[in-house]
């Protein structure tokens, strides 16, 4: 299947066939604004066809023993690993990343894939005692059916692996909808899995605009489970649609993550992690650090160091660069507009805040690493996820005030504290109202075997990846066995 991959076009892949359509748009490299290919937009009829094919293929795939499904997925990981540079170059081109960062993400996708491939040997249910004599009780996991998987553009290869591998190992068939900004890597990875032995009808990819085909995909009667990673606004819409149809849904949404710096912190270490949290991947992480809460006695020193660090970061896509562009023009304009609005409301710009004019990146969707102070905790920029390289700084007087401000957010995804105090660190992990708590590092850093997700506007309580993802993609069935010893 990889031999038929075309790097200059992204078509829907349904039952192993590329579907060319009349409606097309340009795929842009955000680094320089150059056209890199054509995106063929799926229509409502392609949505119906993809779901129909997935439904027709699912039962046969579910009948394949989970251990064998895992073997096939291990083969797929081998293919991805063997051709890692090829995939990474695609990711780097369409997402505006350095090849080194793209290679790291490809490695992350393989690690995630291998973890879930291994779960084919551990598809555990439970056996439990019954309160009745001669009665055995147990649970088993069964696939949901057809899984609609919708991913974001920020880390294309891991996002694909994060959703597709657990859905497949559980015996579901898949209709995968990648971001329209990063469609080529999804096409490549789907073909790699089909080449490895996943039946073509079991893994289908729909290309196009989310607002055009997303509602039809999520509302289709034959879709049994929906997994979405993206904005809180769209997540709410999907939750409403799923609720009306009583569909199972997993939502991994936004974050406005707090980074607390205590008066006993190692400031150089804190600045290092603050910079990575705010600016790596151009701030395009739901787990990026964007609210920096600093105790008063170290505020000025930390801000001086942090501002100097941010001002010295290198923009571009070389392996020596610190951050690349944001993914599309809409996001780019929204971030710059939000910065200007914050300044109008009284916030102070410490560094950045503009599109750079350097010759080698002036045509790309770049934003200078930006730090802002004096924004009110209830200002729009303090409450809204920007998904870009922007950090907001706040001064507090105590540990309790820092925790209170950190929790004063519509989001609850991740948070970190920098301190040398064991007591503060442990209290923080208990008091922070997030799904992830970190001590003396960055706000990001999920691992394939660990559950990831958040509270309030950051999600609906489900967790992916980790073994907890099996709860998303399987249904539990109770089994009771009654014996009659007197008949022996």
Whether 446 shows a pLDDT value over 90: the answer reads: no
Verify that 199 and 62 share a domain, yes or no: yes
Render pLDDT for 386-408 as a digit per residue (tens, 0 to 9): 999 999 999 999 999 999 999 99
Q: Are 176 and 206 in contact (CB under 8 A)?
A: yes
| Active-site annotation, residues | 252, 286
- Read off the pLDDT band of 359 (50, 70, 90): confident
Tell me, what CATH number does 414's domain have?
3.40.309.10
Fill in the DSSP letter of residue 323: B
Mean pLDDT, residues 308-319: 96
- Confidence class for position 484, pLDDT limits 50, 70, 90: confident
Q: Note whether 219 and 263 are same-domain residues.
A: no
For 3-55, the pLDDT digits (tens) are 777 878 899 999 999 999 988 999 999 999 999 999 999 999 999 999 999 99
pLDDT of residue 7: 78
Tens of pLDDT, residues 174-214? 999 999 999 999 999 999 999 999 999 999 999 999 999 99
Q: Do 406 and 466 lie in a common domain?
A: no
pLDDT (tens digit per residue) in 138-171: 999 999 999 999 999 999 999 999 999 999 999 9
Q: Which pLDDT score, from 0 to 100, does residue 60 have?
A: 98
Which pLDDT belongs to residue 148? 97
Number of folded domains that form the chain: 2
Asked whether residue 361 is domain-assigned, the answer is yes
What is the pLDDT, as a whole number, of residue 313? 97
Q: Report d(CA 208, CA 178) in Å as an integer.
A: 8
Pair (280, 397) in one structural domain: yes
Residue 159: domain span: 2-253+459-477
pLDDT at 357: 87
447 found inside a domain? no
**SS3 call for 449:** coil
Examine the domain organization and report whether 245 and 266 are in the same domain: no
Regarding whether 164 and 306 lie in a shared domain, the answer is no
Residue 488 pLDDT > 80, yes or no?
no
What's the 3-state SS for 87-101?
HHHHHHHHHCCCHHH
Quote the tokens at residue 55. Answer: 């439904």
Q: Looking at residue 5, what is its pLDDT?
A: 77
Confirm whether 448 is domain-assigned.
no
Same domain, 207 and 303: no
CATH number at residue 206: 3.40.605.10
pLDDT at residue 93 greater than cutoff 80: yes
Residue 1 has pLDDT above 80, yes or no: no
Do both 205 and 106 map to the same domain? yes
| 104 occurs within a structural domain | yes
- The alpha carbon dihedral of 281, 285, 291, 292 has a sign of negative
Residues 176 and 268 in one domain: no
Q: What is the dihedral of CA 253, 155, 366, 278, to 10 degrees?
A: 60
Instruction: Say whether both 214 and 291 belong to one domain.
Output: no
Q: Is residue 453 part of a domain?
A: no
Residue 454 domain-assigned (yes or no): no
Do 207 and 270 reside in the same domain of the chain?
Answer: no
Q: Are residues 85 and 102 in the same domain?
A: yes
Residue 452 lies in a domain: no
Helix (H, G, I), strand (E, B) or coil at 456: strand
* Per-residue pLDDT, 301: 98
Return the pLDDT at 2. Answer: 81
Mean pLDDT of 254-283: 97
In whole angstroms, give the CA distance from residue 298 to residue 61.
59
pTM of the predicted model, to two decimals?
A: 0.95
Instruction: Identify whether 175 is part of a domain.
Output: yes
């Amino acid at each position: 299947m990889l031999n038929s991959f075309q790097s200059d076009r992204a078509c829907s892949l349904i039952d192993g066939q590329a579907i060319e359509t009349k409606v097309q748009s340009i795929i842009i490299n955000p680094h320089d604004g150059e056209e890199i290919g054509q995106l063929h937009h799926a229509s409502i009829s392609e949505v119906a066809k993809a779901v129909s094919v997935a439904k027709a293929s699912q039962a046969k795939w579910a009948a394949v023993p989970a251990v064998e499904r895992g073997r096939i997925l291990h083969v797929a990981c081998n293919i991805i690993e063997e051709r890692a540079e090829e995939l990474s170059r695609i990711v780097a081109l369409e997402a505006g990343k350095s090849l080194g960062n793209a290679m790291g993400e490809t490695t992350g996708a393989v690690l995630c894939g291998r973890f879930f491939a291994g779960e084919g040997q551990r598809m555990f249910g439970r056996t439990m005692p019954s309160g009745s004599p001669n009665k055995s009780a147990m649970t088993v996991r069964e696939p949901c059916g057809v899984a609609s998987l919708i991913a974001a553009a920020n880390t294309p290869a891991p996002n694909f692996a994060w959703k597709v591998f657990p859905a497949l190992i559980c015996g579901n068939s898949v209709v995968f909808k990648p971001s329209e900004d990063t469609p080529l890597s999804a096409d490549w990875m789907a073909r790699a899995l089909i080449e490895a032995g996943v039946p073509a009808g079991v893994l289908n990819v729909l290309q196009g605009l989310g607002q055009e085909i997303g509602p039809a995909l999520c509302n289709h009667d034959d879709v049994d489970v929906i997994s979405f990673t993206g904005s809180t606004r769209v997540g709410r819409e999907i939750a409403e649609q799923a609720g009306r149809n009583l569909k199972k849904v997993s939502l991994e949404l936004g974050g406005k993550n707090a980074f607390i710096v205590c008066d006993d912190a190692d400031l150089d270490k804190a600045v290092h992690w603050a910079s990575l949290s705010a600016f790596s991947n151009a701030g395009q992480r739901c787990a990026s650090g964007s609210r920096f809460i600093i105790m008063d006695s170290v505020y000025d020193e930390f801000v001086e160091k942090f501002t100097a660090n941010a001002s010295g970061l290198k923009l571009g896509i070389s392996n020596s660069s610190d951050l690349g562009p944001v993914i599309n023009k809409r996001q780019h304009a929204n971030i710059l507009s939000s910065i200007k609005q914050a300044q109008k409301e009284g916030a102070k710009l410490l560094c950045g805040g503009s599109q750079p004019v350097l010759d080698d990146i002036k045509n790309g969707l770049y934003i200078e690493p930006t730090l802002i102070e004096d924004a009110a905790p209830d200002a729009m920029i303090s409450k809204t996820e920007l998904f870009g390289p922007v950090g907001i700084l706040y001064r507090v007087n105590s540990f309790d005030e820092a925790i209170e401000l950190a929790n004063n957010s519509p989001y609850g995804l991740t948070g970190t504290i920098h301190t040398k105090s064991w007591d503060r660190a442990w209290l923080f992990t208990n008091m922070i109202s997030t799904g992830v708590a970190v001590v003396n590092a960055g706000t990001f850093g999920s691992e394939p075997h660990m559950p990831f997700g958040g509270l309030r506007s950051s999600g609906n309580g489900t967790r992916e990846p980790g073994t907890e993802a099996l709860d998303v993609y399987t249904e539990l069935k109770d089994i009771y066995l009654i014996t009659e010893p007197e008949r022996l």
